[in-house]
Chain A
Amino acid sequence: AQTVTQSQPEMSVQEAETVTLSCTYDTSESNYYLFWYKQPPSRQMILVIRQEAYKQQNATENRFSVNFQKAAKSFSLKISDSQLGDTAMYFCAFIGGSQGNLIFGKGTKLSVKP
C-alpha cells in the first residue's frame, strides 16, 4: 500500500524568506504523480504544483518549486519570497499504479509572519 508522510506538523517563516516543506512516500510503483495542495482558512483546496515520476526535471511554478528525489522517495516543496497569503495547510499527495487512489499526507501548517 502507498503511504505519504509529512513529518512537520507546523512551520513558520518570515515574510520574504524561503521555506521548505518535507514529504516522503512509499510505493512499489514505477510510474506515478505527486502533488502539493494548499488549503487556506477558506477551506478550498488548491493545487500548487505537480510532478510526474518519469520526469527527472523538478517542477516549478513561479515562487514554488519541488526537489524530487525518486530513489529516496522524497518530494519537498520550496516556497521562495514567502508572502502572507501563503499562510495555509499544505498537503502532499500521491496517485499511481493500479489503485488509482489519491492519497494525502497529514499536512503541514505554514504560518508566514510579517
Chain B
Amino acid sequence: GAGVSQSPSNKVTEKGKDVELRCDPISGHTALYWYRQSLGQGLEFLIYFQGNSAPDKSGLPSDRFSAERTGGSVSTLTIQRTQQEDSAVYLCASSLNQFRGMNTEAFFGQGTRLTVV
C-alpha cells in the first residue's frame, strides 16, 4: 500500500483477554518500530525490527507483551492478559533504512486505539 497500515483502528477488550495488533509497513521498508502513546503523552518506545530480527526489545513493558515480524513485512504486537493500564494508542512506523544515508524518515500509521474495560 501507499502508507503504513494498522489494524484494527480501534479495539475494545475485556481485562484478561489477549489482543493482537497488526502493522503493514510500506513495501520495501526494512526498519519497523512500535510505540505506545497514552492520552496526551509522548511516544514510549516498545520495540523495533530490522528485517525480521529485533535488535532492541528493551521497551516492552512486561512479559505480557511480545512482537514478531515475518517475511520482513507484516508485524504483530500481542498483549496477553490485558490490563487497564494497557489502554493507549499503539503506533507503528517504518523506514526504508535503519540508519544510513538519507532514507531515515519514519512513516507512521494512524495507530490502534486500545481500550481495556
Contact with B along A20-61 (1 / 0, CB 8 A): 000000000000110100000001110100100000000000
B65 lies within 8 A of chain A by Cβ: no
| Chain A residues with a Cβ under 8 A of chain B | 32-33, 35, 43-45, 47, 50, 91, 93, 95-97, 99-107, 109
Q: Is the CB of B56 within 8 A of A101?
A: yes
Q: A43-B111, A102-B48 are in contact. Are A107 and B42 (CB under 8 A)?
A: yes
Asked if residues A100 and B93 are in contact (CB atoms below 8 Å), the reply is no
Q: List 10 A-B contacts (CB under 8 A).
A: A35-B106, A45-B91, A50-B104, A50-B105, A96-B99, A100-B31, A102-B33, A102-B45, A102-B106, A109-B40
Find out whether the CB atom of B56 lies under 8 angstroms from the CB atom of A104: no
Docked-complex contact B56 and A44, CB < 8 angstroms: no
Known: A45-B108, A104-B35. A33 touches B99 (CB 8 A): yes
Query: Across the interface, which residues of B come within 8 angstroms of A102, CB to CB?
Result: 33, 45, 48, 93, 95, 106
Counting from the closest, the 9 A-B pairs by CB-CB distance are A106-B42, A45-B108, A104-B43, A100-B98, A107-B42, A100-B99, A33-B104, A101-B56, A47-B105
Minimum C-beta distance from B108 to chain A (A): 4
Q: In the complex, A32 Cα to B99 Cα: how many Å? A: 8
B41 at interface, CB cutoff 8 A: yes
Is B71 at the interface (CB under 8 A from chain A)?
no
